[in-house]
Structures are given as structure tokens and as C-alpha cells.
Amino acid sequence: MTRTPVAGADVCVVGAGPAGTIVADRLAASGHEVVVLDAGPRFDPDDRLRRQERSIRPSFSRPDVWDGDADRDAYTSSGEKGYPLNHARVKGVGGSTLHWQGMVMRLHEDDFNSRSERGVGVDWPIDYADLRPQYAEAERELGVSGASDNPFAPPREEPHPMAAFPPSYSDSLFAEACEELEIAMHSVPNARNSESRNGRSACVGYGTCQPVCPSGAKYDATVHAEAAERRGATVIDRAPVQRLEHGLDSVEAAVYATPDGERHRQEADAFVVACGGVETPRLLLLSESEHYPDGLANSSGLVGKCFMDHLFAGMGGRLGEPTRQNHVGFLTSESHQFYDDADETVGPFKLEFFNYAGPSPVEMALTGDDWGDDLLERLRANYGDHVGVGALVEQLPSEDNYVTLDESRTDDHGNPVPEIHWSLDDRMRRTIERANEIQRSILEELGADITWQVGSENTGPAYHHMGTTRMGTNPDDSVVTPQLRTHDLENCWLAGSSVFPTGGAMNPTLTIAALAIRAAEAIDASL
């Protein structure tokens, strides 16, 4: 394809993940000339079955499934815990929605008012009511299957676009134990089709949702990239933006490289940076100048600061009876019962009842060296009776956790790579311990033999990068306004989870989509 700049562009969007493509689609629908630049390739949808096969073979690591590149994607990690950035990110049109699990919950009302209601963190400059209309639109845009059976969820204005997926067989086993313990279970809203919709099939049960959905039933951002192109937008892949050229109060051009070694300047009236919680601050820091010696849009000094993720707590084992594990590749039941008990000592968390604990028969067959009757005996002995309960746990914003530039190491274009400095706090550890207590009570009530636990000592991230360009009303302690325009530059907006002041404990993509719609409305009004 031609990767030359688009003349007369109204809007240049950097990043073709869910935030960037939703903004692009919305603005193209309003008649604006839009160009989208993405660092990675455009993946051929006909290759998804091949990628699925790759994903289940033990000789391939997870980044191999979506063509990770060690030089292009180089990074460093420091702090208390090493951060495995490349384990769960995709550079390319569609972004990390190409391999996400697809759960889409709204933040709870108290998540927007953490300082006021829980005594920790900060308050958002908007509340749940402000974002409620965009949440409903985001559910329609992504195509969400869900039900209004969660008594702990924030108020809704209308049903989900599609019916929820029914509880799995293992959910029914958990339900018996939870009923005894007076723990409420409810359905999980999923951005995957429970019925055919908008030219995409219903889920056909491949079970490899993470990291690849061959059928296209699970939403990914190529849906909005293609919709934006149908409306006249231009999407340019393999065009990593090297820096944003700017004056004192506005961005003038995005300088990007192409595979043939050329560099181009894409000019536009408005710019949207939507590269995620790591690459967005990195690009701003790479765009330093005499006007902004500490990085573009960084008069507050907070670009890259307050990096957050969700932490995982989990426990599981074997039940000694069939559980039909791995028959469903995503979650169908959760519990938010303990979420709003959060205060300054213990944070919010949600419980997740796994449909995919334990190895699948394919994984077992591909990791052994036995054949015939020996293989069949091993499969019968080790498959089909596993159970597991997980949890997502909030991490509070702290300036001690940050994304910066590592000047000692460069990527394939000679730019300093991102350095992630990441540590854990005591509140998060106490929350994980509380989640483990409840998980243990459920598994013991179920009669399971507990064989593994992920607690505060061996926890890891959910790969939800948030908080590095937070929104606020005061330019001294935030990077963007409540409309997601940078305080420092009149024509530059930031879209994505980097603008979250706090992260709550809900998967962030629905909030990313809702805020992208909010940003698109503000940009449209400004043009």
C-alpha cells in the first residue's frame, strides 16, 4: 500500500487499537478526513486458523502468535517486580484486542470517587453518571452479550445488545458451593457474539479465545478500523510514529517511518494519541523540545507517572469428578459481591470462576513423548476434573510506578525503549490475601483438593496498562482535561486507559471505548 501522508487531513490518530479506531470511525462518520498510523502490520484474517494452531503448540511462545518483534518491541523493567510487557501486547491494526479475553464491565460508581468514598487514590474529574450514556454506546459498538442479573453492578439504562452466554457446567458446580456460603454468582458481559450480528458469526466454541479467535465472533478493533475505512478514513500500517513535531501550543505533524526506510510528516488539524498506557507516554517523552524539555504535554511532570495494572489472585485444584473444564474458553460467571466493601485498607476485587483451569487434551498431547495407550492413560489421569477461581485486584496510582525512557537501550529505529518501573503496595497485598481467603472457602466447600495458589508473593499483572497520562481539571496534577485534550496543547487529545486516574478492578476495555466516544465528541465539536 501507499504509505505517503494524506493531504488535507483533519485528524491524525496514532494507534489502531480500540481507542484509536473508535475515534477514527466516529470522526470519519462526521465527514472529517481521518488518517490512522499504526506501528505494526495489518494481519490477514485468513491467517487466524494458522495462528490458532501456533497458539496451542508448546514450541511457540505467546508473543509468537501475533508476530512479536524483539527489536521493535524492546523494553526494560526495573523496580520491585519485573514487568513482562511483551507477554500480552500486540502491535498491529487491532492492537491487543486481537488476543484479549473479551470481558467488558463498567466501572462501579465508587471507582470514580476513590478518594471521597474509599479514602485512597484520587477522584476522577467525571463520575459514573457523566459516562453512562457513552457506556451504553460502547456496548452497542463492541457488541456485548450480557444480562441484568448482577445486583452489585451500577445502574443501567437499557439491556445489553445481545443475551448473555449461559452458565457453564463447572459454573453450576461452583454455584452449589457459593449458595452454601451465601456468595452471589452472576453472568459476565462479553464482547463476543452470542448470536450472529453485524456480519459476524455467533461464537462457535473454538476455546482459544485468548490469544486468537478464528471465527471473528469476539470483538477486536479491526471491526472499527474497517468501518472507518468504509467511511473514507485511511489506515496506514507499519508506520511507527517517531515523534510529534509541535510549536508552543499545538502539534503540527506526526513523523513516522515506513518499511522502506523512508520518513514522512503527517500534518493535520487535530491529533489523537491512542497507543496504550506504555507507548503513549513514551511517544510524548520522545517528542521533547525546547518548548517542552521534559516531554510533550508534560508541564505537570506526570507523563509516564502513576503506572497501574490489575493484579491477579487465584487458587485451584482437582475435584475428583468431571468438571468439563476447557469446554468454554472464556468466563461465564463472576461475583462482584465484595467489590464495594473496599476502603483504605483493602481494595476492590472481583471473583472469576474459571472455565479453563487445568491443561487441555491438546496441550497434554503436544507436551509428552508418549503415544497410543500410554498417552490415553495419561490424558484420562490428568484431564477433566480441574477447577479454579481467580480475582482481579486494584492497584492504586503512585508516582513510584512509572514509564520512562531507557537511554541505554534503543529500538529498531534508534529510539530509547520504554522502561517500566513497577512495585506493589501493602493494600494490594492485603486485597490479594482477602481474595485468597474467599477462594479457599469456595474450593473447600466444593470438596476440591487445592493444588495451586497465586497469592501476594507470586502475583502477576493482568496486562491492563493504565494511568500514565491521567485526566483532571488542574493542569498542575493531570495531563488531560475531562474531554481528554491535553492541558498544554490545544489540538492534541489522548485516548485510552492511560488517562484513567484510578483503575478499579474491572477489565478496562469498555471504559476505554466509552472514553474514546467522549473524546470523539469533543474533537468533532472543536473542528
Q: Write out pLDDT tens, residues 33-88.
A: 999 999 999 999 999 999 999 988 888 888 899 999 999 999 999 988 899 999 98
What is the distance between the alpha carbons of residues 1 and 295, in angstroms, rounded to a whole number?
32
Q: Write out pLDDT tens, residues 306-343.
A: 999 999 999 999 999 999 988 899 999 999 999 999 99
- Using alpha carbons, select from 277, 214, 284, 294 the residue that is nearest to residue 254: 284
What is the distance between the alpha carbons of residues 512 and 135, in angstroms, rounded to a whole number?
10
Q: What's the mean pLDDT in 398-413?
A: 97
Q: What's the mean pLDDT in 135-156?
A: 97
In this predicted structure, the answer to whether residue 95 has a pLDDT above a threshold of 90 is yes
Q: Write out pLDDT tens, residues 254-277.
A: 999 999 999 999 999 999 999 999
Q: What's the mean pLDDT in 2-20?
A: 97
What pLDDT is attached to residue 376? 92
CA 406 and chain centroid, separation: 24
Percentages of the chain per state (helix, strand, coil), in multiples of 5: 30, 20, 50
What pLDDT is attached to residue 377? 93
Rounded to 5 degrees, φ, ψ at 372 are 60, -130
Of all residues in the chain, the percent with pLDDT exceeding 70 is 100
pLDDT band for position 31 (50/70/90)?
A: very high
In this predicted structure, the answer to whether residue 221 has a pLDDT above a threshold of 90 is yes
- Using an 8 Å Cβ cutoff, are 121 and 342 in contact? no
CA 415 and chain centroid, separation: 25
What does the block give as the cell for 229? 475505512
- Using an 8 Å Cβ cutoff, are 288 and 296 in contact? yes
- Sequence length of the chain is 527
- Using alpha carbons, select from 510, 516, 524 the residue that is nearest to residue 496: 516
Q: Write out pLDDT tens, residues 108-122.
A: 999 999 999 999 999
What pLDDT is attached to residue 206? 87
In this predicted structure, the answer to whether residue 361 has a pLDDT above a threshold of 90 is no
What is the distance between the alpha carbons of residues 62 and 90, in angstroms, rounded to a whole number?
10
For all residues of the chain together, what is the average pLDDT?
Answer: 96
Q: Is the pTM of this model over 0.75?
A: yes
- Using an 8 Å Cβ cutoff, are 246 and 366 in contact? no
Q: What's the mean pLDDT in 229-245?
A: 98
What does the block give as the cell for 69? 518483534
What pLDDT is attached to residue 214? 92
- Using an 8 Å Cβ cutoff, are 318 and 451 in contact? yes
What is the distance between the alpha carbons of residues 327 and 333, in angstroms, rounded to a whole number?
14
- Using an 8 Å Cβ cutoff, are 9 and 486 in contact? no
- Using an 8 Å Cβ cutoff, are 306 and 397 in contact? yes
In this predicted structure, the answer to whether residue 1 has a pLDDT above a threshold of 80 is no
What pLDDT is attached to residue 466? 98
In this predicted structure, the answer to whether residue 459 has a pLDDT above a threshold of 90 is yes
Task: Identify the weakest region by mean pLDDT among 49-63, 73-87, 142-156, 213-227.
Answer: 49-63
Class of domain 156-188+311-393+424-460: alpha beta
DSSP 421: E
- Using alpha carbons, select from 468, 470, 430 the residue that is nearest to residue 123: 470
- Using an 8 Å Cβ cutoff, are 313 and 391 in contact? yes
Strands (DSSP E) along 320-425, which ranges?
A: 333-335, 349-353, 386-393, 402-410, 416-421
Q: What's the mean pLDDT in 383-391?
A: 95
What pLDDT is attached to residue 26? 98
Of all residues in the chain, the percent with pLDDT exceeding 90 is 90
DSSP 320: S
Question: Under CATH, which number does the domain 7-69+90-144+211-310+397-403+466-527 receive?
Answer: 3.50.50.60
**Dihedral angle computed from the Cα positions of residues 165, 355, 223 and 39, in that order, rounded to the nearest 10 degrees:** 160
In this predicted structure, the answer to whether residue 415 has a pLDDT above a threshold of 80 is yes
- Using an 8 Å Cβ cutoff, are 198 and 143 in contact? yes
What does the block give as the cell for 511? 471504559
Within the chain, all domains assigned CATH 3.30.410 are found at 156-188+311-393+424-460
What does the block give as the cell for 111? 471507582
- Using alpha carbons, select from 499, 500, 495, 481 the residue that is nearest to residue 27: 495
pLDDT band for position 12 (50/70/90)?
A: very high
DSSP 497: G
What pLDDT is attached to residue 58? 84
In this predicted structure, the answer to whether residue 350 has a pLDDT above a threshold of 80 is yes
